[in-house]
Structure 1
Amino acid sequence: MNKVPMTVSGEASLREELERLKKVDRPRITEAIAEAREHGDLKENAEYHAAREQQSFNEGRIMEIEGKLSNAQVIDVTTLPKTGKVIFGTTIDLLNVESDETVTYRIVGEDEADVKANLISVGSPIARALIGKEEGDVVMVRAPGGDIEYEIDQVHHR
């Protein structure tokens, strides 16, 4: 199976969630199922069915996270040589050539992407346009609202 790039913070976040799901949520759900069983007839016991559904969701999420972590290629951008090139994990300050507005993005793995936090997926159109470019380069990004021209102001390895 192909390795999926992930930042160090992305891996840490998934490991924290996995730890919580296994050590906090799983025992709590098991206890809720046991308590609901004590109430009698399971066919018409809404608490029991809700707890079982929660258990199913929890176990599914555990399997999903374990799968993601097993296929992750964790990249620590701080250990890589600082070349001024845009690579996975770097933070980029972009200047919109038309509007003179500055925006900052960090290129992260698919699961870590959060546009509101300016974390963009390595597979997004803007990241694909930026990868391999250097500070000072002008990049044309095809966006749903039309093409946007950015100048790469600074590339940070943090």
Structure 2
Amino acid sequence: MNPTPMTVRGAEQLRKELDYLKTELRPQIIEAIADAREHGDLKENAEYHAAREQQGFCEGRIQEIEAKLSNVQIIDVTKIANNGRVIFGATVNLLKSETEEEVTYRIVGDDEADIKKNLISVNSPIARALIGKEVDDVAIVKTPAGDVEYEVLSVDYL
């Protein structure tokens, strides 16, 4: 299995979530199950069943995060010399040709992607079109509505 690329920030966020799940949420759920058990008959005990379900989700997420972190390749773009080329982890300022609108995206791993924060997955059509481009290059992104052209204005390794 190939390692999954992830930024330093993305790995830190996953580790932080894992720590929260193990040190805070898991003990709370165990306590809720113990409290619910004291209420007697478990067959008709909604609190017990809700706590057990929450425990299942929590344990599943812990396993998921541990699996991701065990197969991750952390890429710190701040330690790479900026040669002006768009790479994983780069922050790219673009000009959308048809609207003259400027947009800035950071290319991140799948788990970190959040379009509201302008974090796009390395596997997204825009990122795939941008990888390898340099300042003043034009990237053509195929969308359902047709091709969209972006001109690369700047590339930063932040």
TM-score (norm: length of structure 2):
0.99
Q: Deviations over 1:114-142 (max 9, x none)?
A: 11111000000110000011011011111
Q: Deviations over 1:71-103 (max 9, x none)?
A: 110000000011000000000000011111100
Distance 2:42 2:100 in 1: 64
Query: Matched residue of 1:10: which SS?
Result: helix
Distance 2:109 2:117 in 1: 14
Unaligned runs of 5+ in 2: none
- Once the two structures are superposed, the pairs formed by residues 1-158 of structure 1 within 5 Å of their partners are 1-158=1-158
Residue type matched to 2:67 in 1? G
Q: CA RMSD in A?
A: 0.6
Distance 1:95 1:60 in 2: 42
Q: Which runs of 4+ in 1 moved over 2 A?
A: none
Query: Matched residue of 1:5: which SS?
Result: strand
Residue type matched to 1:119 in 2? L
TM-score (norm: length of structure 1):
0.99
Aligned-residue offset at 1:143: 1.5
**How many residue pairs end up in the alignment?**
158
